[in-house]
Amino acid sequence: MNNAAPAPARTRGRPRGNPPTREAIVSAARTLFLERGYRGTTVRAVAAVAGVDAALIAYHFGSKKGLFADVMQFQCANALAVDHVLVGDPATLPERLIEAVTGLWEDADFLTLTAQGDEAAEVIREYLESELLGRLVEFLGGRDATARATAVVTILGGLIYTRYLNPLPTPAALTTSEIREILTPALRAALAPRPRTLTTTGAGRRGSSAPA
Amino acid sequence: MNNAAPAPARTRGRPRGNPPTREAIVSAARTLFLERGYRGTTVRAVAAVAGVDAALIAYHFGSKKGLFADVMQFQCANALAVDHVLVGDPATLPERLIEAVTGLWEDADFLTLTAQGDEAAEVIREYLESELLGRLVEFLGGRDATARATAVVTILGGLIYTRYLNPLPTPAALTTSEIREILTPALRAALAPRPRTLTTTGAGRRGSSAPA
DNA sequence: CGGCGTTATTCATCAACGTTGAGCCTGCGG
DNA sequence: CCGCAGGCTCAACGTTGATGAATAACGCCG
Residues A22-36: what's their mean pLDDT? 92
Is residue A63 over pLDDT 50?
Answer: yes
pLDDT at A184 over 90: yes
Judged against a pLDDT cut of 80, whether residue A21 lies above it is answered with yes
Task: Output the distance from A161 CA to C21 C1' rounded to whole Å.
Answer: 37
CA of B44 to C1' of D14 (A): 9
Q: Which helix (H) or strand (E) holds A73?
A: helix A64-80
Q: Is the CB of A64 under 7 A from strand D?
A: no
pLDDT at A161: 74
**CATH architecture group of domain B71-191:** Orthogonal Bundle (1.10)
Strand C proximal to B13 Cβ, under 7 A: yes
Assess whether B74 (CB) lies less than 7 A from strand C. no
State yes or no: pLDDT of A7 exceeds 50: no
- Distance from residue B11's CA to nucleotide C7's C1', rounded to whole Å: 13
The 10s digit of each residue's pLDDT in B139-161 is 888 888 889 999 998 888 888 77
B59 touches strand D (CB under 7 A): yes
Protein-proximal nucleotides of chain D (any atom < 7 Å from a CB): 5-18, 21-26
Q: pLDDT tens digits for B42-52?
A: 999 999 999 99
Q: Is the minimum distance from the CB of A13 to strand C below 7 Å?
A: yes
Contact A121, A164 (CB under 8 A): yes
Check if B22-62 and B71-191 are the same fold. Answer: no
For chain A, give the mean pLDDT. Answer: 77
Q: How confident is the model at residue A197 (pLDDT cuts 50, 70, 90)?
A: low
pLDDT of residue A47: 96
Whether nucleic acid strand D comes within 7 Å of the CB of B12, the answer is yes
Q: A58: which nucleotide lies closest, measuring CA to C1'?
A: C19
pLDDT tens figures, B174-196 = 788 888 899 999 999 998 877 66
CA of A149 to C1' of D8 (A): 42
Exposure string over B7-29, b if 16+ CB within 10 A, otherwise e:
eeeeeeeeeeeeeebbebbbebb
- The pLDDT-based confidence of B207 (bands split at 50, 70, 90) is very low
Assigned CATH for B22-62: 1.10.10.60
Listed as ranges, the nucleotides of chain C within 7 A of a protein C-beta are 7-27
Q: What is the mean pLDDT of residues B108-119?
A: 65
pLDDT of residue A199: 54
Q: Which residue is nearest to nucleotide D5 (CA to C1')?
A: A14
The whole-number average pLDDT for the span A89-114 is 78
Q: Higher model confidence: residue A165 or residue A120?
A: A120
Residues 6+ apart with CB under 8 A from B27: B50
Q: Which of these, B35, B38, B41, lies nearest to B109 by C-alpha position?
A: B35
Q: Which range, of A201-205, B112-116, B193-197, averages the lowest pLDDT?
A: A201-205
Q: How far is the CA of A98 from the C1' of D3 (A)?
A: 57
d(CA B22, CA B24): 5
Q: Is the CB of A14 under 7 A from strand D?
A: yes
* B2 band by pLDDT with thresholds 50, 70 and 90: very low
Q: Give pLDDT, residue B156.
A: 86
Domain boundaries, given as residue ranges, for chain B: 22-62, 71-191
Q: Provide mean pLDDT across the span A28-36.
A: 91
The more confident residue out of A28 and A140 is A28
CA of B11 to C1' of C4 (A): 20
* Nearest nucleotide (CA of B52 to C1'): C12
For A99, B61, B75, B111, the CA distances from B117, given in Å and listed in that order, are 51, 20, 18, 11
C1’ D30 / CA B4, Å: 35
Q: Per-residue pLDDT averaged across A133-151, rounded?
A: 87
B132 or B3: which carries more pLDDT confidence? B132
Cβ of B16 near strand C (distance < 7 A): yes
Residues B73-89 as b or e (16 or more Cβ within 10 Å = b): bebbeebbebeebbeee
User: A33 CA to C16 C1', in Å?
Assistant: 19
- Is A59 (CB) below 7 Å from strand D? yes
**Segment among A8-12, A40-44, A167-171 with least mean pLDDT:** A8-12
pLDDT for B171: 62
Q: For B16-21, what is the mean pLDDT? A: 77
Question: How many angstroms separate the CA of A12 from the C1' of C23?
Answer: 10
pLDDT in tens, B61-93: 999 999 999 988 777 766 667 778 888 888 899
